[in-house]
Structure 1
Amino acid sequence: MTVFARGLSKQLGDTSPPHLTLMNMVAKAAGFQNLQHMRAATAARNRISTREAPLIADACSVERTLNLFDALGRLRQWPSRRAVQTLALWALWATFPAEKALSEKAVNAHLASEHTFGDVATLRRMMISCGLMTRNRNCSDYRRVEQKPPVEAQAVIRDLSTRRRARSESERAAQNA
């Protein structure tokens, strides 16, 4: 911009305002309050564009969690490690409908279809204690808590969604046969 302002000043000749005034005028013409505002906005834009890429999921945790699910996307066993338990719960969380109230019976039936070790009560209670679901005091109304999953959970959900799609396609094919 300095080069532009100097060239403009030469063309205006003796009637040209001082260099700083001319640069402020150019900055205002570009939509900024003044030269300092333009420089600050440009510096902020550069900082934002050069930020680090989003965090990459911990591949070991994701793999440990995925190994607990069968080929159809059902949880085979309850993990012993707390971090893996949480990722497994996120994977189950993703299967619940968003913003829909469910009865305890419906939640139990849904969880029963998403795991093979037969302990819906533990899964239901853990989802509530981890803040992934809420319920009324009388246990009549369960809802999924809408929130953005952590990076590792997103990776687990993404992988399991392909397994679950294959499961639903095979179930549809069996019904049609």
Structure 2
Amino acid sequence: MPKTPVPLTVPDLSAFARALSRQLDPPPGHQSLLNMLARASGFRNYQHLTAANTARARLDAPPEPPADHARVERALAQWDDAARLRQWPARRAVQELCLWALWARLPAATTLHEREVNGALNKAHLFDDAAILRRSLIGMGLLTRNPDGSDYRRAETAPPPEARALIARLSARAKPG
């Protein structure tokens, strides 16, 4: 008569090992018992079991969607060789990607005055209209300001894949040599 396997799921192997240790006479050390349990489930030792579960969790995480490189290319065409925005793009999708690249140039976790924000934006574009860029960054939620407009702060949020690809390419362009 074949035996039916009975699965055992233990939320915390360490607590399970402590409880099992109390039932053994003489009880082995905690680490020794963890290694025995890991070997009994097919692993070399407890460290191997931990590494395998950590890798499984990383692999089970949903993969990041790939960047739409055609959109990145359209946005990249708006920038010069020194990674400065040449003109304000006509298409909203391209504008948004360009705003992400400008957002990346603002210092993180720093309160800035309007003059400092304008200075950072003026270094990053050639068409002399920091106000439209600043207002657009605020409209997209990438920049926040006090109600009186005195202090600005970069909103810390993860850029979409296309924005990360654009930021990386512009960073490579901006580096000398």
Give the TM-score, by structure 2 length: 0.68
1:30, CA displacement in angstroms? 4.0
**For 1:133, which of 111, 132, 143 is the aligned residue?**
143
- 1:92–1:49 CA distance, 2 compared to 1 (3 A): same
Runs of 4 or more off by more than 2 Å in structure 1?
18-21, 28-31, 45-54
Q: Which residue of structure 2 lines up, in the alignment, with residue 95 of structure 1? A: 105
Q: 5 Å matches for 1:17-166?
A: 20=5, 30=37, 49=59, 53-166=63-176
CA distance in 2, matches of 1:136, 1:47: 41
Give the TM-score, by structure 1 length: 0.68
Identity percentage over the alignment? 44
- 1:148–1:30 CA distance, 2 compared to 1 (3 A): same
1:93, CA displacement in angstroms? 0.3
Aligned length: 139
1:165, CA displacement in angstroms? 2.1
What residue identity is the alignment partner of 2:73? E
CA distance in 2, matches of 1:126, 1:152: 18
SS at match of 1:159: helix
> Which protein has the larger Cα radius of gyration, Structure 1 or Structure 2?
1
- 1:47–1:135 CA distance, 2 compared to 1 (3 A): closer
- 1:53–1:76 CA distance, 2 compared to 1 (3 A): same
CA distance in 1, matches of 2:117, 2:59: 44
SS at match of 2:112: coil
What residue identity is the alignment partner of 1:86? E
Structure 2 gaps of 5+ residues are: 9-15, 17-35, 39-51
What do residues 107-148 of structure 1 show as CA deviations (whole Å, max 9, x unaligned)? Answer: 111111100011111000000000000001111100000011
CA distance in 1, matches of 2:57, 2:98: 36
SS at match of 2:144: strand
1:73, CA displacement in angstroms? 0.5
